[in-house]
Amino acid sequence: DSGDAKLVLRLEELEYEVSDRLAYFVCGKRADHVNGQHFTIPQLPGMTTLPPESARTARQRLQELSNINLSHLALDLQDEVDRRELE
């Protein structure tokens, strides 16, 4: 049924909404998750990569967040992207 297919597509969009909006804000690209096209934000000129230990520590700190705190962080990031897009 067409309604079911639309619902599935919308749920998939919502699953990736935060990461997709951040990626679009940073590099101007959108993922096509429906067709299996997933990408990471490319290295941008002038940006440095975190040393492996720093990246590991940052990842660990994010993984230690409770679900509610991770949700709040995602909302804060989304609010900041909204604010900057409107400037």
pLDDT, tens digit, 9 for 90 and up, residues 4-21: 888 988 888 888 888 888
Tens digits of residue pLDDT in 53-62: 887 888 899 8
Look at phi and psi of residue 42 and say left if phi exceeds 0, alpha if psi is from -120 to 50, else beta.
beta
Q: With the C-alpha atoms ordered 16, 18, 23, 28, is the resulting torsion angle positive or negative? A: positive
pTM above 0.85, yes or no: no
**Every domain of the chain and the residues it spans:** 1-42, 49-87
